[in-house]
Amino acid sequence: MNSRRKGKEGELSLARKLREYGYDCRRGQQYSGANGDADVVGLPGIHIECKRVERLNLTDAVHQALRDKRGGELPAVFHRRNDEPWLVTMPLEDWIEIYREWEAGNHVQNLKNKEAHPQIPDPPEMLRGGEAGTAGAGGDAPGV
């Protein structure tokens, strides 16, 4: 299979995989000749550079995503080898931005859960085997 066809198949495969997760994704517009568009579109705020190769220069791929992204988009390289799962590589600063957004939302959700179910201890207490928790009771790890 030539590299252009393999790239197309990779983009279609990734778009299918993202649709399995509930995102309305499709191949980008580069198939019609436009430059600078993401390889796969449908994740607002993320510029997807898709690479379906056995040997990948990740630095070059990330640089391409950085160069091609539009304002406000976070660059991400989605890549996989034959018979391997999809992986995502992005600059650390952008990953931290996503993680902080998740963490802030997760904290809000934990507060809502705490208000609705005050008898449920915070996760660290549960992990330490506090009164309301059972994991690690007695201070020993299970099976020790």
Share of the chain above pLDDT 90, in %: 58
Arithmetic mean of pLDDT, 72-97: 96
Whether residue 51 has pLDDT greater than 90:
yes
What's the confidence (pLDDT) of residue 96? 94
Q: Delimit the domains of the chain by residue range.
A: 3-90, 93-139
What's the confidence (pLDDT) of residue 140? 46
Whether residue 108 has pLDDT greater than 80:
no
pLDDT band at 124 (very low <50, low <70, confident <90, very high): low
Distances (CA, A) of 100 to 84, 94, 113: 29, 10, 20
- The per-residue pLDDT for range 8-45, each reduced to its tens digit, is 999 999 999 999 999 999 999 755 545 568 999 999 99
Which range has the worst mean pLDDT, 23-27, 65-69, 94-98, 136-140? 136-140
**Fold exhibited by the domain 3-90:** Trna Endonuclease; Chain: A, domain 1 (3.40.1350)
Q: Measured between alpha carbons, how far is 26 from 79 in angstroms, rounded to an integer?
A: 16
